[in-house]
Each structure stands twice: as structure tokens, then as C-alpha cells.
Amino acid sequence: MELNSQPRPFSIKLWPPSQNTRQTLVERMTNNLTTKSLFTQKYGTLDKEEAEENAKRIEDVAFTTANLHYEKEPDGDGGSAVQLYAKECSKLLLDVLKRGPSKEDNNELVTSVNTTAPLESVFDISKGKRDFIEADEAQELLNPLKQLGNSFTKICFSNRSFGVGAAQVAEPILSSLKGQLKEVDLSDFIAGRAEAEALDVMKIFSTALEGSVLKSLNLSENALGEKGVRAFGALLKSQKCLEELYLMNDGISQEAAQAVCELIPFTEKLKVLHFHNNMTGDEGALAIAEVVKRSPLLENFRCSSTRIGAEGGVALCDALGNCTHMKKLDLRDNMLGVEGGLSLSKALTKHAELREVYLSYLNLEDDGSISIVGALKESAPHLEVLEMSGNDITAVAAPAIAACITGKQFLSKLNLSENELKDEGANLISKALEGLVQLKEVDLSFNQLTRAGAQQLAVTVVQKADFKLLNINGNFISNEGIDELMNIFKKSPDTLDRLDENDPYGEDNGEESDEEGGADELESKMKNLVVD
């Protein structure tokens, strides 16, 4: 389970856009459809009413498509969803421009836009009221799936609880779609059902979808356990082209993990495996390691909060050495320890394509951390995110961390919160951050920093053009130091996170005497900083 002591997330969320942003985009597209441009000169302009109706529908379709994409990666900052949103709007706007003014009524035009949109490929009932679904409601709810010639390639039944009757209604419908379905989301679709009924429902869905050629399968949030995994056995065994598998928060124990290993024999094409918040433990980790070992194309692996210790951690990290295409790795909130950290460092030397690494709360200590950042220094040239909070890291490891990040020109987010770096470590890291132009977020909260360490870090990041957030809460910064920080961030106050948990009396107030060595350098930087 997640530890309650974890710090408050501080990442900047780019998604979803505000209602005002969405409306502004509609207005902009309306203007594009009604004013003269290269495209409208070629294809013709629309009248305002027709243009506005099309713009609203385009934005709605693009938002739905991007939101579905974002929900698959909820821990991201939403940047990829924003890019998809803009791309879909541009594509659909061009479709409308090419078609030109409609000679029919607006309803026919809107329908035409909708049929060209990706929304037509997605059947999603997850946004409805969270409730139990029985046979009668299922008949009505699933009716669009029965329409001849439908083009649905993805179904999402999440957030609705299916009983046996509803499952029996769904069975022939899903069986008829086997040839076209590519993505199936059955996460959280049996909530509140008795175990016997839930298992029956899972078996019905498994049989109905057996033999489909899926790229993505989500069975998260279903408290599967071993019985649940085996209830989906027919479906799992039949998947030979699976690229994404999500088994998060499924109560997967050692036995259930062994069942997963047994029932998913074809993993050669697997690129995404998410296994967050289970009770796998060391023995279960051995089984998951076998799945990983058989997945050479794995790019995105999440195995966080799974109660894995050193033994299982070592086996899992050894298996990760086979995944040379890894781009995103999340092992947070396990107890790998120093031994697991040393094993992981060997795997990381083979991960040249890594972009995001989440290694918080692994009990790595200095030795494990030094080994890991040493490996990352030599590999992962395009690293964008590094999180190693809550690992008992002291200033001893700071030179190795600084040496690692100095050359990471694409680094945008660094999280070293809840460690013991103190001013000595923070100053080394501040120096390493100076040349990183793409840096946007830094978290050194709860690291026993005092006034000098906090100032050094603040002066380093505030000068970066695209910097978004510095979190140095929970440290030992004097009241005078807080005032100085506020002045440093005078022009961009939102860039400095709140300081409500700072303890100005947490350290001996003789801090100035210990910090005189770095005072001249800090004072020099402060003179060059414009804070009108």
C-alpha cells in the first residue's frame, strides 16, 4: 500500500485545460474558418454560425481523445495530452476547411465532422454514474456496439459494476467484435460484487474476448488475486500481440503473480507493463521478473508499492537488464535496499533510451544511490526526470549526484526530497544545475537546508527562463532567509512553492559562521540578479 508519509506531489499539471482555454480555442478556430487565409481562399470560408458549430464539435472531439490518452498516464504532467489535443484540433480543422461551406443543414455537417474523428473508434461508458449494471440496462447501454458497420476499436467499461446478467448480455456482443477490437479497458468493472459473482463475470468476459488480437488490456482495480487472474486465463493465454498490460491495485500476491507469469506466455511485443500497488512481495517479484525477462521490447515498466524487498528486487533488477529499450522506469515505494540498488545500477548501464526514472522510497542509502547515479551518468543521455526522494541520501552522495546531472541537458525535473543533503549537498547540486536550460522543477524539501543552501538553490533556478517550481519546504531556513527568498522570487512568486512547514529554529542559529565560505560566491550572484 502507499505510505501515508510520502510528500505532497508538486508537479505542474498541463492537463486538463481550463474551460476558458477551451473556449478561447473554439473562438480561434471559428475565426480561422470565417476569415481569409491560404486555405479559405482555396476551399472557401464558412458563415459564422456554421463555423462556430464545427469549431465546438472539433474541440470536443479533440479534448475527449486527448483526455483518454492522459488517463493512461495519470502520473505524467499532461504534456503529451496537450500535444495530442492540438494535433487533433489541427487535423479536424483542416478536414472542415477542405470540405468547404456546407450546402446542407448544420446537423448533417456536424455529423460528417464526427465520423472523421477518432472518437468514433472509442466506446466508453466510464464517465456515467458509478453504479451496478444489470441485464436490462446493459441491453440499452451496449446497443451502439451492436450496430452493423461500427468502427469501435477500443472499449472502456471502467467505473461500472457488471453483474452476471449484464455480462451475459455483453458476451455475444463482444464476441462479434473480436476481429476489430484493439484496446480493452475492464478496470474497476466488478466493484461491490460478491466474490462468486465477480469471478463468474470475469470468466464470461474472458471467454467472450478470447482470441481477440489486442494491443492494450487493462484489468486494474479489480481485486483479482489468484482466482481473478485465473478467471481471465482464456483471454490472457490467447494474446500474442499484446503491447500494453495494466494490473494495478489488483491484490496480486505471490500466487497471483505466479499465475500472471504462467498465463501470459507471449510477451515478445510487450512495451508497457504497469503493476502498481499490489502485495507481491519477494516471491511474487521472482515471477514478475520472469515476465520482464521475456519482454525485450519493454519501454515503460511500473512496479511501485508492491512490498518487494532486497531478494525480489535483485531478481527484478537483473531481469531489467534485458530491457534495453526502457524509457520510463518506476520502482517507487519498495524496500530494495543497497543490494537492490547495486543490482539496479548494472541494469541501468544498458538503458540508453531512458527518459524518466522514479526511484523514491527504496532505502537505497548513499552506497546504493551513488551506484545508481554513477550508472546513469554513463547512460541515459536524454534523461528528463530523476526522482530519488526518501532514500536516506546524505551529502556523501552529493558529488556523485552532481556529476550525473551536470551532463543531462534534457533534465526537466529533479526530486531529491526527504533526504539529508544539508547545505553541503545542496550547494553541489545547485552548481550542477546551472547549465541545465530545460530544467523546470526541483524538489529539495525536507533536506535540513538552512538559509545559505536555500539561497544558493533559489538564485540558480530563478534565472532559468522556463522554470516552473522550486520546493524547499520543510527545511531549517531562518525568517530572514525566508524574506530573502521572497525577494529573489519577487517577479515570479508562483515559482516558489509554499514554505508552511519550514522550521526556522530547526538548526542552531549560528548558521552564518558555518556558511561564510560560500557567502562571497552567493553575494556575487545576487548582485547580478535583477529583482526590481
Query: Tens digits of per-residue pLDDT, 340-371?
Result: 999 999 999 999 999 999 999 999 999 999 99
For residue 154, the SS3 value is strand
Q: What is the pLDDT of residues 447-481, one digit of tens each?
A: 999 999 999 999 999 999 999 999 999 999 999 99
Where does the pLDDT of residue 12 fall: very low under 50, low under 70, confident under 90, or very high at 90 and above?
low
- Main-chain phi, psi angles of 123, to 5 degrees: -115, 110
Q: What is the dihedral of CA 69, 72, 78, 82, to 10 degrees?
A: 0
For all residues of the chain together, what is the average pLDDT? 88
Mapped onto helix, strand or coil, the DSSP state of residue 497 is coil
Measured CA to CA, the distance from residue 25 to residue 143 in angstroms comes to 33
pLDDT at 117 exceeding the cut of 60 = no
Mean pLDDT of the region 110-117: 37
- How far the first Cα of the chain sits from its last, in Å, is 48
Grid cell for residue 391: 532514500
Q: What φ, ψ does residue 527 adopt, rounded to 5°?
A: -70, -30
Q: What is the DSSP string of 389-447?
A: -SS--BGGGHHHHHHHHHT-TT--EEE--SSB-HHHHHHHHHHHHTT-TT--EEE--SS
- In the prediction, which pLDDT does 66 show? 79
Assign residue 337 a region: left if phi > 0, alpha if psi is -120 to 50, beta otherwise? left
Question: Is residue 101 predicted with pLDDT exceeding 80?
Answer: no
pTM: 0.75
Choose between 22 and 132: higher pLDDT.
Answer: 132
pLDDT band at 514 (very low <50, low <70, confident <90, very high): very low
Strands 216-218 and 244-246: parallel
Residue 319 corresponds to which amino acid?
A
Indicate if the pLDDT at residue 396 is higher than 80: yes
With a cut of 70, say whether residue 105 has pLDDT above it: no
Half-sphere exposure of 396 (CA within 13 A, CB side): 11
Q: How far apart are CA 308 and CA 331, in angstroms?
A: 10
Distance between CA atoms of 310 and 283, rounded to whole angstroms? 11
What whole-number distance in Å separates Cα of residue 485 and Cα of residue 493? 10
- For residue 507, what pLDDT is reported? 62
Min mean pLDDT across 255-264, 466-475, 509-518 is at 509-518
- Amino acid residing at 226: E
Q: Which one-letter amino acid corresponds to residue 248? A: M
| Distance, C-alpha 361 to centroid of its chain | 18
Per-residue pLDDT of 480-500, as tens digits, reads 999 999 999 999 999 999 999
Element (H or E) spanning 337, and its range? helix 337-348
- Tell me the percentage of the chain whose pLDDT exceeds 70: 88
Quick one: pLDDT band at residue 522, thresholds 50, 70, 90? very low
Q: What local confidence, expressed as pLDDT, does residue 74 receive? A: 61
The residue ranking higher by pLDDT, 24 or 113, is 24
- The 8 Å CB, 24+ separation contacts for 124-128 are 124/68, 124/154, 124/155, 124/156, 125/156, 125/157, 125/159, 125/160, 126/156, 126/157, 126/158, 126/159, 126/160, 126/185, 127/159, 128/159, 128/160
CA angle 438, 406, 525 (to 5 degrees): 75
Q: What are phi and psi of 444, to 5 degrees?
A: -125, 35
For 18-68, how does the pLDDT look when each residue is reduced to its tens digit (9 = 90+)?
Answer: 877 888 888 888 888 888 777 777 777 888 888 888 888 888 888 878 777
